[in-house]
């Protein structure tokens, strides 16, 4: 009869943890990959054999009563006989390589989802609510996520006996190595559904169409993502839902163009209005406002309406509304109009204006582009 306690260097009343620690210490020193000598290989076989017996409660109890499972093999059986490969991995990596025991849960967290929503510029300015309809995974209304047809249940898998795993013995350079893999009969769950739900085929969830109301904060822009916790796909087995991410796309506006938190638009003015000055009504997102055109307004001048722009997403401070003047010069004049302009030119001494040449000024969009380029 082999002296397994002596091989591991532990007392007969050693605890399972003491036995495991002793085996790990010896295995690290004697394993053939670490110590290739023949003597170390023989010692490793004895150590592995001893741990196979003393590391198993049933085998240890039988050994203490005088039964040696390796006695018939002459005490020199190849190491790894009836020995799990995960125990070797456990010895070197502290359990990192060992298979995770126990069946896996049918309840899984659902996946996150990403969908897009189009909003008007006015919603981006003040915020609002948008109704969103989309297809997603929802809990089965028949079995309520259980997966079994109502009135039926589940039974323990006959193949793995509820462990969710099966073991196989394979021959390798270590001898006979025991490997563990998920049970194919129950897919690793440890239990089998007797009569799957006809509505979800045992998944506990189905595809369906949902409609929710999304609160859009003020200041969002194209590309902004809104996270809705728990509004994504419901998990298998009635598991918790993932998150829903709503990506915002802002529609183009007929009048205003957004640049950061400011809004821009242009107004076309007759030459006389630009020269004399006037006030023009403009329909803004805050209602109708008068745009005061100062006397002598030049092409490209900008009139600023403070606080009528977009609300900043975080600070909630609003930007400005900038109106760009575009002065329209008449191209066709009747004789009376032409005579009046000639009289005006004469009165102002501009019949033969003094030429002042300079470089070409940028137009409206060129000025806008330059204004937002880094300097």
CA-to-CA distance for 198 and 205, rounded, in angstroms?
Answer: 11
Buried b / exposed e across 338-352, counting CB within 10 Å, b at 16+? eeeeeeeeeeeeeee
DSSP state of 148: B
Q: Check if the beta carbon of residue 167 is closer than 8 Å to that of residue 180.
A: yes
Binding-site sequence positions for Zn(2+): 140, 143, 157, 160, 183, 186, 197, 200
Structure tokens at 34: 């670490």
Residue with tokens 């001048």: 301
H/E run at residue 50: helix 38-54
Burial status of residue 49 (CB atoms within 10 A of its CB: 0-12, 13-18, 19 or more): buried
- What radius of gyration do the chain's Cα atoms show? 41
**6: CB partners within 8 A, 6+ apart:** none
Binding-site sequence positions: 140, 143, 157, 160, 183, 186, 197, 200
- DSSP assignment of 72-141: GGTT-PPTTTTEEHHHHHHHHHTTTTSPPPSPPPS--PPPPEEEEEEE-HHHHHH-EEEEEEEEEEEE-T
> How open is the CA angle 118-124-130, to the nearest 5 degrees?
50
């Amino acid at each position: 009869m082999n002296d397994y306690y002596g091989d591991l260097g532990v007392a007969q009343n050693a605890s399972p943890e003491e036995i495991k620690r002793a085996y790990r210490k010896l295995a690290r020193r004697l394993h053939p990959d670490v110590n290739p000598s023949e003597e170390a290989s023989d010692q490793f076989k004895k150590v592995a054999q001893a741990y196979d017996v003393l590391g198993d409660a049933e085998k240890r109890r039988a050994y203490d009563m005088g039964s040696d499972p390796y006695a018939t093999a002459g005490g020199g059986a190849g190491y790894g006989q009836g020995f799990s490969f995960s125990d070797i991995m456990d010895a070197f990596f502290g359990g990192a390589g060992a298979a995770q025991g126990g069946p896996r849960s049918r309840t899984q967290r659902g996946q996150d989802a990403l969908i897009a929503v189009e909003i008007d510029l006015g919603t981006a300015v003040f915020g609002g609510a948008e109704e969103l309809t989309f297809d997603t995974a929802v809990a089965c209304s028949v079995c309520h996520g259980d997966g079994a047809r109502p009135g039926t249940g589940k039974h323990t898998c006959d193949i793995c006996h509820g462990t969710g795993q099966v073991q196989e013995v394979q021959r390798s350079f270590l001898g006979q190595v025991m490997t563990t893999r998920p049970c194919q009969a129950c897919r690793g769950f440890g239990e089998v559904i007797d009569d799957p739900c006809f509505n979800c085929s045992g998944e506990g969830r189905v595809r369906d169409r949902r409609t929710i109301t999304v609160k859009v904060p003020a200041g969002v822009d194209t590309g902004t993502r809104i996270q809705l916790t728990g509004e994504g796909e419901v998990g298998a087995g009635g598991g918790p839902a993932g998150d829903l991410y709503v990506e915002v796309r802002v529609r183009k506006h007929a009048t205003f163009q957004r640049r950061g938190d400011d809004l821009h638009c242009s107004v076309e003015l007759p030459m006389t209005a630009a020269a004399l000055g006037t006030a023009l009504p403009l329909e803004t997102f805050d209602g109708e406002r008068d745009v005061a055109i100062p006397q002598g307004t030049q092409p490209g001048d900008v009139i600023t309406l403070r606080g009528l722009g977009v609300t900043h997403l975080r600070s909630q401070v609003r930007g400005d509304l900038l109106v760009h003047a575009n002065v329209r010069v008449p191209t066709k004049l009747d004789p009376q109009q032409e005579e009046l302009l000639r009289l005006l030119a004469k009165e102002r001494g501009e019949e033969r204006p003094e030429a002042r040449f300079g470089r070409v000024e940028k137009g409206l969009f060129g000025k806008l582009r330059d204004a937002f380029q880094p300097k």
